[in-house]
A and B are shown apart, each in its own frame.
Chain A
């Protein structure tokens, strides 16, 4: 894989999965148990 492709893969995974993880952690931290 080229360096550009590797960087974009890391950036894409980092931002999307990082964003998801941060949102879930935020929700858990507020510890709302009900919908």
Chain B
């Protein structure tokens, strides 16, 4: 059977943007920018986008397009067994991320319903932790199942796997054609409403006020590169898998620029909406913006419900728009994350797509119920931190070193991209991948390892979030380590004979 393909160029771009635009764009970027120099952060951020984000995106698009396989198959065809394990490592990381990412989408879905009558009441923070998550166990304990999370979680997995069952064109492409334009429209309404609230200018001032003194501080450059890296869905198999469904003559470089700029454009829009709303809340409470600014779960599920409570009118509608946006952004990303292992399993073991969806997606869905327990948030927080830092970021570094330094594929990939792309790649692209990306990521990984091994966090235990060393080891480090070991083990198994060989000449365009 022929390999599946995207129906149109726009379909591919919408799917890639749908993957890149996720929860982090809405709840991570605004706070990272605010904490790292405000408006001045935009300088290292743009620099990171152009020297690391887009160059890696071009590299991954080209690899998928040239070798036409899931991440493990692409790495196998690129460098044989020597590099195949990197593809499986990425796929294992994607598998783990999907197990908890689905749970956050389930929360968003539930909060969309809560928004109608602001069911969180006068104290949204207490409601979140006590009534909704029922978080009254210690880190490392599961407690009982929380049915209010489990039921929407089943719906989330049902939707995601249902879309994946339909295939690339009729499933993923069709879903993103609906999700992404809807998300943009919903978020534009949120932003327009937020910037017209009293106090919005105070919030925007806090967000954009540049602190140029910080520009020489390496920390903000690392924060910018780190954010671009996590935001673009690069380095964990997704973009390689998606680009492997492109037709032979499709553009690569310009598609990467559109995807990169769309992702960053959206998160800047999110920053405007979030900080305008925070400015409104700070004004209502008569406190500085710094007192209400937050990120992650706290921002979305505790601070935003408080903002919705204080809205001058149509509180429910604003809440529905916000949580529906989170749900759509999350769902389009979850689909892309799950597709990586559906494709990998199907190609390695020669199973049908449907069986791979049932087995891979089903297993992830079962494991994700761990995060729907009373202690789920602690597990989610630890796994998320360690899998991102020692899964995604480490993978990015290893991937670039393997492809560019060890296998020396930069020139070959550049020639391949230039065959079909509107924008021709010059020496800048190779320079970014040979020098800038490995140096910045290497520096970042060194800092992270040092901080975690020497327990340098400003907490009681010195560990991330003040967790005990036992919980950090079993709830975080072991999970990130398991992804690497699983990746190596899977690379030792034999390929289905249909994919066991690859002739580069066959795949040249022309």
Number of interface residues of A (CB under 8 A): 25
The smallest beta-carbon distance between A14 and chain B, in angstroms, is 11
Interface string of A3-27 (1 = CB under 8 A from B): 0111111011101110110011011
B486 beta carbon closer than 8 Å to chain A: no
Is the beta-carbon distance between B210 and A4 smaller than 8 angstroms? yes
Q: Which of A11, A27, A35 contacts B246 (CB 8 A)?
A: A35
Which of B23-50 touch A at CB < 8 Å?
Answer: 38-40, 42, 46
The smallest beta-carbon distance between B400 and chain A, in angstroms, is 23
**Which residues from B are CB-within-8-Å of A30?**
251, 254, 422
Q: Which of A7, A12, A24, A35 contacts B268 (CB 8 A)?
A: A12
For the complex, what is the distance from the CA of A13 to the CA of B273, rounded to whole Å? Answer: 13
**Which residues from A are CB-within-8-Å of B254?**
23, 26-27, 30
Is the beta-carbon distance between B246 and A19 smaller than 8 angstroms? no
Is the beta-carbon distance between B210 and A8 smaller than 8 angstroms? yes
Q: Which of A11, A16, A34 contacts B8 (CB 8 A)?
A: A34
Dominant secondary structure of chain B at its interface with chain A: helix
The smallest beta-carbon distance between B160 and chain A, in angstroms, is 22
Which listed segment binds A: B74-82, B126-134, B200-208?
Answer: B200-208
Beyond A12-B268, A35-B6, whether A2 also contacts B205 by CB under 8 A is: yes
Interface size class of B (residues with CB under 8 A): 35 or more
B389 beta carbon closer than 8 Å to chain A: no
Is the beta-carbon distance between B12 and A35 smaller than 8 angstroms? yes
Is the beta-carbon distance between B210 and A35 smaller than 8 angstroms? no
Tell me the total A-B contact number using a CB cutoff of 8 A.
94
Minimum CB distance partner of B5 in chain A: A35
Is the beta-carbon distance between A11 and B251 smaller than 8 angstroms? no
Beyond A4-B39, A8-B38, A35-B247, whether A27 also contacts B422 by CB under 8 A is: yes
Is the beta-carbon distance between A26 and B210 smaller than 8 angstroms? no
Is the beta-carbon distance between A35 and B208 smaller than 8 angstroms? no
The smallest beta-carbon distance between B265 and chain A, in angstroms, is 4
**Which residues from B are CB-within-8-Å of A12?**
39, 42, 208, 268
For the complex, what is the distance from the CA of A32 to the CA of B261, rounded to whole Å? Answer: 19
**Which residues from B are CB-within-8-Å of A33?**
8-9
Is the beta-carbon distance between B257 and A1 smaller than 8 angstroms? no
Beyond A33-B9, A35-B11, whether A8 also contacts B42 by CB under 8 A is: yes
**Which residues from A are CB-within-8-Å of B422?**
26-27, 30, 32
The smallest beta-carbon distance between A11 and chain B, in angstroms, is 7
Q: Which of B7, B40, B209 contacts A35 (CB 8 A)?
A: B7
B290 beta carbon closer than 8 Å to chain A: no
Beyond A4-B210, A5-B208, A12-B39, whether A23 also contacts B257 by CB under 8 A is: yes
Q: Which of A6, A9, A23 contacts B261 (CB 8 A)?
A: A23
Interface string of B245-260 (1 = CB under 8 A from A): 0110111001101100
Is the beta-carbon distance between A27 and B265 smaller than 8 angstroms? no
**Which residues from B are CB-within-8-Å of A9?**
39, 204, 208, 272
Minimum CB distance partner of B209 in chain A: A5
For the complex, what is the distance from the CA of A28 to the CA of B347, rounded to whole Å? Answer: 34
Instruction: Name A's B-contacting residues (CB within 8 A).
Output: 1-2, 4-9, 11-13, 15-17, 19-20, 23-24, 26-27, 30, 32-35
> Can you offer 27 A-B residue contacts whose CB atoms are under 8 A?
A1-B205, A1-B208, A2-B209, A4-B208, A5-B205, A8-B40, A8-B42, A8-B210, A9-B204, A11-B39, A12-B208, A16-B265, A16-B268, A19-B257, A19-B261, A23-B258, A27-B9, A27-B254, A30-B251, A30-B422, A32-B9, A32-B422, A34-B247, A35-B5, A35-B8, A35-B11, A35-B247
Instruction: Name B's A-contacting residues (CB within 8 A).
Output: 5-12, 38-40, 42, 46, 201, 204-205, 207-210, 246-247, 249-251, 254-255, 257-258, 261-262, 264-265, 268, 272, 422-423
